[in-house]
Chains A and B, each alone.
Chain A
Amino acid sequence: MNRREFTMAMLAGTAAIPLGITRAVGQTKGGTLNTIIQPEPPILVTALNQQQPTLTLGGKIYESLLKYGPDLKPMPGMAQSWDISADGLTYTFKLFPNITFHDGKPMTADDVIFSCMKLLMETHPRARGNFARVESATAPDPLTVVFKLKQPFAPFLGCFDCTSAPIVPKHIYENTDYRKNPMNDKAIGTGPFKLKEWVRGSHVHLVRHDGYYLKDQPHLDEIIYRVIPDAASRALALENGTVQMVQWSDIEFFDVERFKKQANLEYTTKGYEYFAPHQWFELNNRVAPMNDKRFRQAVMHLIDRDAFNKRVYFGNAKVATGPISSKTRFYDGNVKRYDYSVDKAKALLDEMGLKPGANGKRAEIKYLVPPYGEVYQRAGEFLRQSFARVNIDLVLVGTDMAGWAEKVGNWDYEITQNLLYQLGDPALGVARTYISSNIKKGILFSNTQGYSNPEVDRLFEEAAVATDDAKRQELYTKVQQILVEEVPVAWTLELEYPIFYDKALKNVVTTAIGTHETFGVVTKS
């Protein structure tokens, strides 16, 4: 409880509560972090659910072998060191000694192998893709894990952050129905914080894990994640100090400017490098007129992406140049540029024969609004006005999450908006959107727009197995140029979500996954 809240309570007439004041004196040791979780996660076991709130909260409870710095270089996690064989096929990890689960049982190489090769293979689609490349996983001793790959896979070392490969206790999950395991409620991990209480609809209360293997960590005594579904209420909570930290879209973009001015708050957009959320308007390449490259290019000309950034995202983004985010490895900005030009767009449309009809309209196109909040809604409204300038009617179609997922997954849409994480390496987060082998009906976040180019397929495949970074860069540069010319989707922005935290907090953002991190090093003065 901070002073502001304390004062408020006094003013409002409730009796003073003699608590928290003495505890705050301990400086770097101790203290409570109040923050927000939005929306409320369905479960805290990150191995079973990979929605963003689950990962944010579960990141404090579950750990993996590695962490990644802001430059996406690996750093020690539960593995204190690692080694890659010259042929790029064998990865050996040395674990820290004395790691224990929250139930007191030791964490060993067996738990790592069980988690990666058994449990995650079934429950974690992304991990499944990664560990399917493993030929064998062995534990020569309790503190050593060896993965042998079937063929080289350059980004394999990028698969061990706590969101991609969380380690769960084998003794709890082995031979059980993972999803229905009653211990899921207890969320037993190895992280610096453990679950104390979860009052659904209200808050999740984490407290320090006293048996944590790193000396002096964690510094905080407890973290409270409050569920506040209403955006205005979240802003108010940050403003009056009820919470000391917000992340992702907790604070609406239009409020960012206001909070930047609030003296007690620190502002950063760092800590999203691993995700590098990349956004585009998805054009179903199978459906006319989106099946015509000229139409897709016209769309690129039609969207005033600076205005889009300013009006809809209030400047909290960077205009994207192509398929790879500038924050991701192997980015190359040296590609064709599409300036905002209604005339160029009209010329392209005329050229392809999409001229205004008897009613003055060139076409009527349906736009499926992703049901993930008001910003998506406004983005659709923005696009509708953009299309109106060349006399194309964009009809917004509302839907729910299930409807959106099914329609997009089954290619039953014309235009929609999408946002994908880049996951640090094009082979992990970018290729999936463009390679023809990933045109999979019914699967979301695959190549749903149905773009297919054998050359692009080849370049992505070669780049994935190449072990030399220079070689990879060359291949990825090529693929970026081709894609930007062909416009399989209309890239718009690299979103830069804000993180605000109270200046009393230190070491909040230290790695490429920002507030998803374990928070063992975070202190509060």
Chain B
Amino acid sequence: MDAVRAFMRHPSGMAGLLMLIAVLIVAISAPFVFPESPWEMIGAPFTPPGEDGMWLGGDTLGRDVAAGIAHGARVSLMIGIASALAAVVIGVLVGAVSGYFGGKTDMVLMRLTELFQTVPAFILAILLVAIFNPSLTTIILTIGAVSWPQVARLTRAEFLRLRSREFVEASLCQGESTARIVLGHILPNAMSPILVVGSLTVATAILLESALSFMGLGDPNLMSWGFMIGAGRTVIRTAWWVSVFPGVAILITVLAINLFGEGLSDTLNPRVSRRRA
């Protein structure tokens, strides 16, 4: 509860939260505000903003850009959150095992992590999505698969740090089991930085998804912001609004998540953030 109160006093964190809530409202209300499918060609191609009832204009096929952005919010947020979750699950597992057990296990896992970090993540993502064909599941798993090393390294560092902390050693001396020590002492204390990285991973996941979609590697059945920009790229000369507005939507969402994440970091990890004051 202290953390909540502290967060409320964090101006940029709150700004991020409010923006995020706004994006969430857009996402939730999309089917009510725009009951038609965002794919429906309701107007003439390249309708400028404000005309024909489309206040953000129409795209190449005469679809409503505003409807696309509203429905796209659902897709982008969903992919962002789901793939961040995937990354956190993989990362925490690898990092926890590596950090707690150390030794050879640690060495092997860290080499693996480094390998994943060495291969340029975006190219790897392109490759994975191309190989397994773009669909919602493959995109989420792919983004998870290229985003986990960061979480793993952080988790490992936290586990290493906490494992040698006196209170953990004390629990060991008190005869507590490994599982209890990991789940009851180390993980809860490592959780807040993981939470912060997790929330920031949502932002990078949204960016990654948009970049993949932009390259034509999105799920063709999902109206996502990256897809809209990609589809609007070639018509930028004729209809700037097709690519500009979805870009702004991504920018706002990612900014909101980053602000929120940093606010979270400042309130959950005051020992790191105190310096910034």
Q: Which residues from chain A sit less than 8 Å from chain B, CB to CB?
A: 230-232, 235-236, 239, 252, 254-255, 258, 311-312, 314, 369, 371, 374, 377-378, 380-382, 384-385, 388, 395-400, 403
Contacts and interface: CB of A to CB of B under 8 A. Distances in A.
Contacts of A235: 234, 237
Rank and list the top 9 A-B pairs by shortest CB-CB distance, nearest first: A396-B220, A231-B234, A398-B134, A398-B220, A232-B234, A396-B221, A400-B130, A232-B236, A311-B61
Nearest to A231: B234
A426 B46 CA distance: 39
Contact of B41 (A254, A385, A396): A385
B79 to A, nearest CB: 15
A232 B134 contact: no
Nearest to B230: A374
A490 to B, nearest CB: 19
Given A232-B233, A385-B40, A254 B46 contact: yes
A380 B60 contact: no
A360 to B, nearest CB: 14
A403 B133 contact: yes
Q: Dominant SS at the A interface?
A: helix
26 contacts: A231-B233, A232-B234, A232-B237, A252-B235, A254-B46, A254-B235, A255-B237, A255-B238, A311-B62, A312-B61, A314-B45, A369-B220, A374-B216, A378-B61, A378-B231, A380-B220, A381-B39, A381-B61, A385-B37, A385-B40, A397-B133, A397-B220, A398-B218, A398-B220, A400-B130, A400-B133
Given A254-B60, A374-B231, A382-B61, A388 B238 contact: no
B219 interface: yes
A370 to B, nearest CB: 11
Nearest to B231: A374
A519 to B, nearest CB: 28
B234 A374 contact: yes
Contact of B133 (A252, A385, A395, A399): A399
B67 interface: no
Contacts of A381: 39, 61, 220
Given A252-B234, A384-B39, 12 more contacts: A231-B233, A231-B234, A235-B237, A239-B237, A254-B238, A314-B45, A371-B216, A377-B220, A381-B39, A382-B41, A398-B217, A398-B218
A398 to B, nearest CB: 4
A254 B220 contact: no
Contact of A311 (B39, B41, B130, B216): B41
Nearest to B45: A311
A315 to B, nearest CB: 11
Contact of B37 (A311, A382, A388, A396): A388
Interface of B: 37, 39-41, 45-46, 60-62, 130, 133-135, 216-221, 230-231, 233-238
Contacts of A311: 41, 45, 61-62
A239 B217 CA distance: 29
B221 A395 contact: yes
Contacts, number: 71
Contacts of A385: 37, 39-41
Contacts of A398: 133-135, 216-220
A321 B244 CA distance: 40
Contacts of B134: 398
Most chain B beta-carbon neighbours within 10 Å: one of A381, A382, A384, A395:
A381
A471 B241 CA distance: 57
Contacts of B41: 311, 382, 385
Contact of B60 (A378, A395, A403): A378
Contacts of A239: 237
Contacts of B39: 381, 384-385
A19 to B, nearest CB: 30
Nearest to B218: A398
Most chain B beta-carbon neighbours within 10 Å: one of A254, A255, A395:
A254
A252 B220 CA distance: 20
A385 B221 CA distance: 12
B221 A258 contact: no
B111 to A, nearest CB: 31
B221 to A, nearest CB: 5
A239 B221 CA distance: 34
Nearest to A407: B133
A400 B134 CA distance: 9
A254 B134 CA distance: 27
A235 B234 CA distance: 9
